[in-house]
Structure 1
Amino acid sequence: MISKETIDKVFETARVEEVIGDFVVLKKSGSNFKGLSPFSDERTPSFMVSPVKQIWKDFSSGKGGNSVAFLMEHEHFTYPEAIKYLAKKYNIEVEETEQSDEQKEQATIRENLYVVSEYARDYYHNTLLNAEQGKAIGGTYFKERGFTPDTIKKFQLGYNPDQWDAFTSEAIRKGYKLEFLEKTGLTIVKEEKQFDRFKGRVMFPIHSMSGRVLGFGGRILTSDKKAAKYLNSPESDIYHKSKVLYGIYYAKQSIAKEDNCYLVEGYTDVIQMHQSGIENVVSSSGTALTPEQIRLINRLTNNITVLFDGDAAGQRAAIRGIDLILEQGMNVKVCSFPEGEDPDSFSRKHSQEEILAYFNENAKDFIQYKANLLVEEAAGDPIKKASTVRDMVESISKIPDTIKREIYVQECSRIMEVSESVLYDTLAQIFKKNKKEAVKKEKTATASEPLSKVPDQMPDQIEKVDMLYELERKLIEALLVYGQEEEDFEDLVLKETEDGNLELEPVVSKARVFEKIYLDLQDDEVAFTNDLFRSLYAKIIEKLHQDDQFRIETFINDLAPEEASEISNIILSYEKYDLHRWVDREVYVKTRDKSIAQFVSEIVLSLRGYLISKKIHDLSTEVSSTASNSELLSDIRDYINLKKLIHEKLGRVFSAKMG
């Protein structure tokens, strides 16, 4: 187990904006930062980070918390793994106590898969550097590719011996379970036998954005025509090839800095370009480009430059990827290499300056590239030219931004010498066709679903605001933001006048906000109805009693993920969301632009008023369902009078604001 001293040091040192900035491009927005959600597909930023409070909130998915919570959500780290990741990032030495057998047994399958994968990476790398076969075969191959020792170390390249079970046998001997070796795909099990999947291959570890080993790519070095040249790890609980980009871990900072990502096809393309000094490059690892991979890049930049081989196969691959990139609302350029060259070979022959100069001169906007390529194929053939124009308009139709679409229509009209009106007509036809197909698809899907029961509630009833929930939430907000503030609170108490009448008389007392809320709820015997708020209330009150220097950014570190997420939600939501028409519903809470005392008093009085209204309603229902009960009627009258007093108090608070 990690010592408490280490955990405290990690929380003191880690900056949430720096941690999240490794995964999401954040832009300054007032005192906070904003970015695109890494948990959902969105084009308008709804992800907020507060450097002051050291918390984050994703309004599209509802997730939130501190830096550790982000790593647990985004990278699927366990709590200890997240702490270790941050410790490594900030060069903090991790002190650990010995785990018990029971704790070891409780490790999840995912954790075991990561552990096995990391062992495999180290085994392959060590074999390449130190074993005779590794140095002679794997080392020679990488040397021929021009990779330096530093590059081999940086990308953790390796070699698996050309023996049936060299890796598997050693892993089992070291105590790793065959079950997890098989689940990662590192070992193939058939009947009573097991053997290495990557037998006799040089190895390329595939990392997540945070640097965790998810899987491997292996290249065979023999001329065996029956064996695949490249072999990837199979899908597993930790490796999903459609959601992974090779090199993203090494490229993420450079991509964000350069505001551009070079997209290539193979492992060696990425490595060779890195070695040439160009680091903002990733690869789809030999698989067809997917929307998930594009969205991974979109978190870091809105610009992609597709680099591909100069042959026909490379050109076709580039065209297939263009439309997918456009659909995600990204800007895409295309750059081809001279005949017979690819990113790997070209990078080996040229300096960083020469490579970048070539990209700048030859990278074309997708419409220019597609026009040049297709026009050559359609030269002198009107039918082919018409097909080419339609193909280009199909690509333009993928662009979600209407202004960009219009600009590309104008460009296409100029290049292809076709009127804009014709292109817009074609675009309209495509949209109409797509809409028709979408409707048809929706009808088919609906028809295949079983008939569902008509809902008991209408939509307007379903969306009705839960007032008790909102008021309890506002109380938590007041405690978090103003808990230690000392204010003058005015209470109206009933006093008897000289002529024997009762009237409200103001009494001012000084108190800290948390004391005022605590005592008022105690006096009224009010308990939170929401389980999460009840738990948070107890913890916040206890912490405020104990610590005069209460800080959200440290308090949140001791909470469960669900509680931390809710606190992030409460703190950051008021900047994004404003409740409407509460007064119409007899809820008199205003925003926090007035005095703290007024803000707190409104919440407490509104909660009292709400609970009294509910009590009157419940008693009235009881009276109507039973025989006349004078005692119940008397209680109702008392509650109605009490409600009037609440309204008077609220009115006094409002008039104080007006003054």
Structure 2
Amino acid sequence: MRIPEETIDRIRQATDILEVINDFVSLKKRGSNYIACCPFHNEKTPSFNVNPTRQIYKCFGCGKAGDAVRFVMDVENIGYGEALRYLAKKYGIEIEEQERTPEDLLRQNERESLLIVLNFAKTFFQEALQKSDEGKSIGLSYFRERGLTNPTIDAFELGYSFDQWDALMQEGTRRGYNRDLLEKAGLVINKESEAGGNHKVFDRFRGRVMFPIHNVSGRVIAFGARILKTDKNQPKYLNSPETTVYHKSQVLYGIYQAKQTIRQEDICYLTEGYTDVISLHQAGIKNVVASSGTSLTTEQIRLIARFTPNVTILYDGDAAGIKAALRGLDMVLEEGLNLKLLLLPDGEDPDSYVHKVGAEAFKAYVKTESKDFIDFKAGQWLAEAGDDPLKRAEGISDVCASITRIPDPLKRQTLSQRVAQVFHVSEQSVISEINRLLRKQQDQSKKEFDRQQERQQRQQTTSQGEPTADELSALFAEAGIASSESTNSPRPPVATSTERLNAVRTPISYQEEECIRLLINYGARELEPGITLCQYILSELHEIEFQTSPFDLILTLFREAFQRGEILTAGDFMNRRSQDEIEIQNKAIHLTTPRYEISEGWLKHEIYVPSEEEVGILADAAYRNILRVKKMLAEQRMMALQQQLRDTKNKTADEADQLMTEYMHFKRIDVEISRLLGTVISG
């Protein structure tokens, strides 16, 4: 089904980009904009910028940019239509969709289809739990025994799978979902495709209570399922397999339900199981997530870091819980997060302990018993070492090894003092050990890098062989770069592909970009009464075409609009919808998003900083930009004429004189513009 244009406009008008992006990362105000660590690439220092006035975002690290719709498309890896449906649901806008053409259906990608069928399965399991006799007597009774209330069951969208071979498959087929899609979503198993033999297709989950696994935006991407009857041939817990939409190492159970509270309280509690999360949530501790049946991964830690830098790990107090806590400790530190650990009394997990002591007592226990990683590790080592000095030394080295994982040198310095206090040794000895371990890590990293380089060189030599001189010449010629005549000349390592060579920008492209930047930001601004900047630039660039895409296209759009009596603004480039126009949108966002802002301290102390928006400064910037564009065009023409003059064959004396006259004309233009710009003129 297609979404009508008027509905699309309503969705866009209702959407607030700050609200949308805040669902995925924690934004902090800086000046008139907001910043965060980018959700699209790993970074420690925020380079992701959101402009609420223009309703756009821009990452200065990876280059991602767009509006709210584009953000949802990128972060969820979904199509345009699904992104609009997500925003419509968020803002309570009803969509009366139009019938979709076969072409529309073909454009719906597999990921969107999987999300749709997984949502169907979630609803099927919910209705089985709450409306069927089997679901009520088995599934709902189990949840009641665990003390879960209806609001909690609804919040986590818990369900039940019938104890039948193909109940879900039959209902899915009846609703129009083909078996191939159900299999790709991990909901059914095709025995022939997995093990060969007789062809049989059946439900993956049967006779189990269902725990839907949501992504950050609340879409169901997988399921966890617990069996309720005793069957030694069946695992207690069964999870969805990896699919296009579900990668367990990148998902935290409960993140959708917890993200707002994590942001508000600026701390995240990390547990191991589904019921731990659900029970703590019901007890009022809503900023809790679980690694959902897998060892803690770097991707999961980075997901937490989107919302808070503070993590407390809650694990069981037995040997396995201690081992799990120690395993995840260094990974959390390496990502720059502030870490505390809490071991519950032996034999207890978060679910059982909160039911045993109640919500308030549990919160008090967390507050008083949580330890920083130094106290936690030191306590384990000191208990084991006793009076053994060698064991104590081993413990100090182990704690120092964890400190070396921390990227911030100031934190490392502060924590070294804490280690010295806990182990009763000199701070200098701790610093020396940390430095020794850091040097060791650096040496290992260098050796590994060298080994990788050697392997890559061997593979490249084996697969391709050394390129010949002719091949190198052809490569450079294709890129428009002259290669050396000598085959013994060293080759720069970066010049190994045509793509990289062609990626080099021409000098004039920077001036074209600056011209477009001025147009997009200030086109309607009057430089003097009745003369706008747009009118001035377009008149000065009469019959001049830009050489760089997409600046040439944007300039054409300005010219066409000006002929209609309109002056385009930044907003006209932000709502580009087709895939072909995305480059224009991204370039416009790049040109309208300044990376730096004037410090509030300067304003506080009344330090005046001239603004580009002031008429005199703006007029001068436009004037000098036009001069530079014309100067570079003159230089290009001079170089072309010089080349023609060198080729004297088949030229008459009159033709040569004509070329020289034309060359001197552009030379005078170049000299005059250089004088106006105040640049040095070479002879």
TM-score by length of structure 2 reads 0.86
1:213 aligns with 2:214: no
User: Tell me, which stretches of 5 or more residues in structure 1 are unaligned?
Assistant: 489-508, 578-589, 653-659
- CA offsets per residue over residues 88-113 of structure 1, 9 Å max, x none? 22222223212123322332111111
Match of 1:606 in 2: 628
Aligned to 1:492: none
Mapped pair 1:552 → 2:567: no
Structure 2 letter corresponding to 1:528: F
Aligned to 2:300: 293
User: Is 2:538 the counterpart of 1:518?
Assistant: yes
Matches within 5 A, 1:441-452: 441-449=448-456, 450-451=460-461
Kindly report which structure 2 residues correspond to 1:216-227, keeping only aligned pairs within 5 A, or say none: 216-227=223-234
Per the TM alignment, residue 85 of structure 1 is displaced from its structure 2 partner at its CA by 1.5
Question: RMSD across aligned C-alpha pairs, in angstroms?
Answer: 2.4
Q: How far off its partner does 1:36 sit? A: 0.7
Structure 1 partner of 2:665: 638
Q: Which residue of 1 aligns with 2:482?
A: none
Deviation string, structure 1 residues 101-153 (Cα, Å, up to 9, x no partner)? 33223321111111111111111111111111111111111111111111111
Query: Counterparts of 1:379 and 1:32 in 2: how far apart (Å)?
Result: 55
Report the Cα distance in structure 2 between the residues aligned to 1:248 and 1:298, rounded to whole angstroms: 12
User: How far 1:431 sits from its partner (Å)?
Assistant: 1.6
Quote how far apart the aligned CAs of 1:425 are: 2.5
Letter in 2 for 1:267: Y
Change over 3 Å in CA distance of 1:458–1:308 after alignment to 2: closer
Q: Confirm or deny: 8 A CA contact 2:516 2:555 kept in the other structure.
A: yes
Distance 1:112 1:187 in 2: 15
Q: How does 1:379-390 map to 2 (within 5 A)?
A: 379-390=386-397
CA distance in 1, matches of 2:279, 2:61: 38
User: What is the distance in 2 between the residues matched to 1:132 and 1:292?
Assistant: 41
- Map of 2:156 onto structure 1: 155
Instruction: Tell me whether 1:561 sits opposite 2:618 in the alignment.
Output: no
Distance 1:396 1:268 in 2: 33
Q: 2:526 is matched with which residue?
A: 486
Which residue type is aligned with residue 486 of structure 1?
Answer: E
Cα distance 1:376–1:467, how it changes in 2: closer, same or farther (>3 A)?
same
Would the aligned equivalents of 1:208 and 1:214 in 2 still touch at CA under 8 Å? yes
1:468 to 498, 508, 522: 508
Equivalent in the alignment of 1:532: 550
Q: 1:90 to 1:549 in 2, by over 3 A?
A: farther
Question: Conserved in 1, the CA contact under 8 Å of 2:558 and 2:568?
Answer: no
Q: Determine whether 1:261 maps to 2:261.
A: no
Closer/same/farther in 2, CA of residues 527 and 394 from structure 1, 3 Å limit = same
Distance 1:260 1:441 in 2: 36
Q: Which one-letter code corresponds to 2:622 in the other structure?
A: V
Question: 5 Å matches for 1:116-195?
Answer: 116-191=117-192, 192-195=199-202
- The alpha-carbon deviation at position 82 of structure 1 amounts to 1.3
**Are positions 1:617 and 2:644 aligned together?**
no
Q: CA deviation at 1:537?
A: 2.7
Q: Which of the residues 415, 427, 434 maps onto 1:420?
A: 427
State how far apart, in whole Å, the 2-side matches of 1:36 and 1:154 are: 29
CA distance in 1, matches of 2:423, 2:29: 42
> Which shows bigger deviation, 613-622 or 527-536?
527-536
CA shift digits 1:15-36 (9 cap, x unpaired)? 2122112211111111111111
The answer to which of 194-203 and 319-328 deviates more is 194-203
Q: Give a deviation string over 1:459-506, Cα, whole Å, max 9, x none.
A: 999997632221111122111111111223xxxxxxxxxxxxxxxxxx
Q: Which residue of 2 aligns with 1:228?
A: 235
Number of residue pairs the alignment of both structures matches: 618
Give CA deviations for 1:382-435 in whole Å, capped at 9, x if unaligned: 332222222111111111111111221111111112222322222222222212
The residue type paired with residue 607 of structure 1 is: V
- Taking structure 1 as reference, are residues 288 and 546 closer, same or farther at Cα in structure 2, changes over 3 Å only? farther
For residues 260 and 565 of structure 2, the distance between their equivalents in structure 1, rounded to whole angstroms, comes to 39
Paired residue type of 1:413: A
Q: What pairs with 1:28-47 in structure 2 (closer than 5 Å)? A: 28-47=29-48
Matched-pair contact (CA < 8 Å) for 1:6–1:94: yes
Structure-2 residue corresponding to 1:353: 360
Alignment partners' CA distance in 2, 1:266 and 1:473: 53
Partner residue, 2:100 = 99
CA distance in 2, matches of 1:268, 1:277: 14
1:535, CA displacement in angstroms? 2.5
Q: Distance in 1 between matches of 2:110 and 2:504?
A: 42
Aligned equivalents of 2:576 and 2:501: distance in 1?
38
| Local SS of the residue matching 1:57 | strand
Residue equivalent to 1:85: 86
Distance 1:366 1:160, change over 3 A: same
Task: State the alpha-carbon separation in 2 of the partners of residues 421 and 153 from structure 1.
Answer: 56
> Structure 2 vs 1, CA of residues 76 and 313 (structure 1 numbering), >3 Å: closer, same or farther?
same
**Given the superposition, is the C-alpha separation of residues 650 and 403 from structure 1 closer, same or farther in structure 2, using an over 3 Å criterion?**
closer
Residue 343 of structure 1 is matched in structure 2 by 350
Cα deviation, residue 338, structure 1: 1.7
**Contact in 2 for aligned 1:65/1:566 (Cα 8 Å):** no
Does the aligned pair in 2 maintain the 1:484–1:548 contact within 8 Å? no
Alignment partner, residue 61 of structure 2 = 60
In the alignment, structure 2 segments of 5+ residues that lack a partner are 193-198, 468-489, 599-610
Matched, 1:435 2:453: no
Measure, in 2, the Cα distance between the counterparts of 1:530 and 1:222: 68
Aligned to 1:582: none
RCO comparison, higher one (Cα < 8 Å, 6+)? 1
Partner-residue secondary structure (3-state), 2:347: coil
**1:314 match:** 321
Task: Tell me if the contact between 1:264 and 1:282 (Cα under 8 Å) persists in the aligned partners.
Answer: yes
In the aligned structure 2, how far is the partner of 1:225 from the partner of 1:617?
83
| 1:351, distance to aligned residue in structure 2 (A) | 4.4
CA distance 1:61–1:570, shift in 2 (3 Å): same
For residue 648 of structure 1, report the CA deviation from its aligned partner.
4.4
Q: Distance in 1 between matches of 2:558 and 2:146?
A: 60
* Equivalent residue number for residue 491 of structure 1: none
Contact persistence 2:60–2:595 (CA under 8 A): no
Aligned to 1:400: 407
Displacement of 1:517 in angstroms is 2.1
Report deviation, 1:548: 5.7
Q: Which amino acid aligns with 1:257?
A: Q
**TM-score when normalising by structure 1:** 0.89
Cα distance change on mapping 1:98 and 1:199 into 2, 3 Å: same
- Indicate the SS of the match to 1:56: strand
| Aligned-partner residue type, residue 219 of structure 1 | R
Contact 2:561 2:567 survives alignment (8 Å)? no
**Displacement, 1:651?**
5.0
Aligned 8 A contact 1:65 1:567 in 2? no
The change in CA–CA distance for 1:599 and 1:362 in structure 2 (over 3 A counts) is same
1:177-221 superposed Cα distances (whole Å, 9 cap, x missing partner)? 111111121111022211111122111111111111111111111
- Asked if 2 retains the 8 angstrom alpha-carbon contact of 1:327 and 1:400, the reply is yes
CA distance in 1 between partners of 2:108 and 2:502 (Å): 41
Contact (CA 8 Å) 2:573, 2:585: kept in 1 or not? no
Matched-pair contact (CA < 8 Å) for 1:256–1:300: yes
